[in-house]
Structure 1
Amino acid sequence: MGRLGVPPLPNHALATRLADAYRAGTTVVLAAGDVPESLDAAEAIQDAWMASLGTSHAYKLGATIPAVREALNLPRSFYAPVPDDRLFRDGAAVPMAIARQTGVECEYAFRLARDLLPGPDALGEDEIAAAFDAILPAIEIPGTRYGRLAEYGGAALVADAGALGALVVGEPVTGLDPRALGAAPVRLSVDGTTVAEGSGAVMDGGAFGPIHAFVNRARARGRTLRAGEVVVTGSCTGYEVVARGPTIAAHFEALGRSVSLRFAP
C-alpha cells in the first residue's frame, strides 16, 4: 500500500528487529536512543515492518480512551493493521506461539461495506457511518514484542504496532446504526463466570466515535480501506489477564451476540 505524507524512516534497524521478533516470538530490548521521538516517527517505523507481514483485513485502534492517552503521553489515537495470520474466528483455540500474553479486551468490530480510497479530503461523519454495514463482537489479545506492555512509553508502543497480538471476531449483525450503541452493557466471562463489565461509552464519542478520525487519517496516509475489512476501536471492559484452558467469552447486549476463544495450553 502506498502512503502519502509519511516522513522518511528514522530507524530501519528497529523496524527490522520488531519484524524478526514478531515472526520468532521473541522480545526486543530498547536502549534510550532506540525509542522513537514522536508519534509520526513511531508510525513510520510501524509502517516499515508491518508492510512485510502479508495481507491484512482488519485494523486495531489504540489510545481511543482519554485516560489511556494521558497515561501513554500520546497526543491522539493510533491504528495498526492486523495481519490475516492473527485474525481468528469465533471459538478459536489461540496457540501459545501467537499469544505469549493472555490479556484480553472486549471490543466492537465494524465492517466496511465499500472501499474508501486514499486522499487528503476529509469525509464527513454521515458518509463514514454509511460506509459500514455490520457490527461484530470481538476480543482483542494484545501482544507486545517488548518484555511487557507499554514498557518504553507510548511512542515505542505505537512502533510495536500498538502491541499487536491477535483478534477474534464473531458473527456480524446488520441493520444497526453503529453510532447508537451507547452504554449498552458488554461483559467478559471465564467458563461462564463474569469477570469484567463495561460499555463502549468509555471511548471518544462512544464505540464508533474513533472511526471518524481513523478513516480520515488512514486515507491521508495513503491507505485504501477495503470492503469486508473490520476495525476494532478499543476496549469496553479494560485489559483482563485470563488463564490458559478455560473458555473466554465476550457478550454484547446491543448485538445479542457473543464471541469466544480459549488459549491453548
Structure 2
Amino acid sequence: MADPDPIIEVRGLVTRFGERTIHDGLDLTVRRGEVLGLVGGSGSGKSVLMRTILGLLRPSAGTIRLLGADLAALSREKLVALRGRTGVLFQDAALFSTLTVAENAQVPMRERFNWPRSLLAEMACLKIALVGLPEDARDKYPSELSGGMRKRAGLARSIAIDPEVLFLDEPTAGLDPIAAAAFDELILQLSRTLGLTVVMITHDLDSLMRITDRVAALINGKAVVAPIDELRRLDDPWLRQYFGGPRGRAALEAGHLAG
C-alpha cells in the first residue's frame, strides 16, 4: 500500500563514484509531516543521499520526486526554485563569519524576495526568536557564539523562507548532552508548529529516540525503514552492533528504547 501524501519519493536509486557504488537500488519514501532519522555506517552514503534528494548531485540511475516534482525533468531554474521550498542545516552550521546572526538569517530572504530592509530585519528577528536565541544574539558574529547558539543561528537561517522540508546533517554533533536534548526539543517543536517535514542525519541515539517517527538505516546500498522499536529488532549485523553496542545499551538502560 502506498504511503499517504509522500513528500519525498526515491525509487531504484543508484549512486556511483568511479567504480564504487554507494547506493544500489535504494528506495525511500518520506511522509509529509514526519521526522525521519537517517543512520548508517561510515561511507554508507547518508550525506550523498541528502545532496542527491536536493538535486545537488546527479544519480547514476533511479528517480527522485521532491514535493511532487521529478528532479530529472526540471530545468535548472525550476530546480533552484524547488530548493527554495527546502531548508538545510549543515553539521557545522555553515554561517558566514563576516555577517551577524541577523544578517545570516536574511541571506535566503534577500536571494528570494525583493523586500525592504525594514521587513528583512523584522522577519530575521522573528526567525531568531523562533529558534530560542536571545535578542542580543542578533548583532553577534558566529565567533562570539557558543556551539549550541551557532546551531540555532544556522537553524534560523534554514527556516528563513518557511520551507516545507528541513534537512539536518548531524544537528547535535559537538553539543553537550543538555544542549543536545534542548536542540532535539526545538526541532520537534518547530516540526509541529510550522508543519515541517524533517529528514535528519544523525549518529545520536538519544535524538533518534526522542524525536523521530521512523528511521531509515542505509545498509549495503539500500534503505531499511521502520519505526525505531521495529528496526532495532531486525536480524542484521550492522543494526545489532548499532543498537547493541555500548551507546545503544546505555540508551536502553536509560529507558529510551523500552517498549
**Under TM normalisation by the shorter chain, which class is it?**
under 0.3
Hey, which of these two has a bigger chunk of helix by percent? Answer: 2
Structure with more contact order per residue of length (Cα contacts < 8 Å, sep ≥ 6)? 1
Larger radius of gyration: 2
TM-score, with length taken from structure 2? 0.26
TM-score, with length taken from structure 1? 0.26
